[in-house]
């Protein structure tokens, strides 16, 4: 899908926001939702999205909406650092399929980086749901 185009209200993350699809939730506020990536690149890989902005990517979102997302990104990154003690934290965001985007509802990846342990983007297998929930619970204790 191109970098320009219409927002599809039936994309996976819109369904998660509506409650039509499950997620392992880590954090939610008035504007944003954070949940575990089910194909994690590392332990603690999370996604942060806006709940109302119909933005496919960074180019579409309002500045207020972007600020609300980034506020949550920082909050979750700090909690992941405290809970999981990674060696570093990678924040990524892709715009358009040629750039690597696969879900067309704006989202930021928070990817804890541990020495010698990081799968490439969109390469991992599906996570064990109990392990994901346990990691989410650890991060929640630092929020
Ligand atoms: P991107 O390639 O940047 O669009 O990232 C989409 C991300 O969403 C990938 O890292 C996927 O592993 C992740 N993903 C896809 N479906 C789900 C889902 N149902 N719940 C959680 N994460 C998902």
Closest ligand 1 atom to Cα of 45: 10
Ligand 1 atom with minimal separation from the 94 CA: 3
123: in domain: yes
Using alpha carbons, select from 123, 138, 124, 112 the residue that is nearest to residue 44: 112
Is 105 among the catalytic positions? no
> Does residue 87 lie within any of the structural domains?
yes
Identify whether 100 is part of a domain.
Answer: yes
Confidence of residue 132 (pLDDT cuts 50, 70, 90): very high
**Assigned domain for 3 exists:** no
Q: What is the mean pLDDT of residues 3-17?
A: 95
- Centre of ligand 1 to C-alpha 40, Å, is 9
CATH of the domain at 39: 3.30.428.10
Residues with CB under 6 Å of ligand 1 are 12, 21, 23, 37-39, 47, 94, 100-103, 122
CA atoms of 133 and 143, how far apart (whole Å): 15
Domain count, the chain: 1
pTM for this prediction: 0.95
Q: Phi and psi of 69, rounded to 5°?
A: -65, -45
Q: Mean per-residue pLDDT for 136-140?
A: 97
For a mutational test of ligand 1's pocket, the pick from 2, 10, 12, i.e. the residue with the most ligand atoms closer than 8 A to its C-beta, is: 12
Q: List alpha helices for the chain, DSSP H.
A: 12-18, 63-84, 129-140
| pLDDT tens-digit series, residues 66-103 | 999 999 999 999 999 999 999 999 999 999 999 999 99
Question: Which residues, 6+ apart, have CB-to-CB distance to 109 below 8 Å?
Answer: 37, 41, 45, 46, 47, 90, 91, 92, 93
Q: Would you say residue 1 lies in a domain?
A: no
Is 6 part of a structural domain of the chain?
no
pLDDT > 70? residue 110? yes
Which atom of ligand 1 is nearest to 40's Cα?
12
Residue range of the domain that includes 50: 12-140
5, part of any domain: no
Percent of the chain with pLDDT over 70: 99
Of 10, 13, 38, the residue with max ligand 1 atoms within 8 A of its CB, to mutate for a pocket test, comes to 38
Is 71 part of a structural domain of the chain? yes
């Amino acid at each position: 899908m191109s970098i320009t185009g219409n927002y599809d209200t039936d994309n996976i993350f819109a369904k998660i926001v509506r409650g039509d699809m499950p997620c392992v939730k880590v954090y939610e506020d008035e504007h944003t939702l954070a949940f575990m990536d089910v194909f994690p690149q590392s332990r603690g890989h999370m996604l942060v999205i806006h709940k109302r902005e119909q933005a496919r990517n960074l180019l579409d979102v309002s500045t207020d909406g972007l600020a609300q997302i980034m506020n949550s990104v920082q909050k979750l990154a700090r909690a992941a650092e405290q809970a999981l003690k990674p060696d570093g934290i990678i924040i990524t965001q892709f715009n358009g399929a040629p750039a690597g985007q696969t879900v067309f509802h704006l989202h930021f990846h928070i990817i804890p980086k541990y020495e010698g342990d990081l799968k490439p983007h969109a390469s991992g297998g599906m996570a064990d749901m109990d392990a994901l929930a346990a990691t989410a619970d650890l991060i929640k204790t630092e929020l």
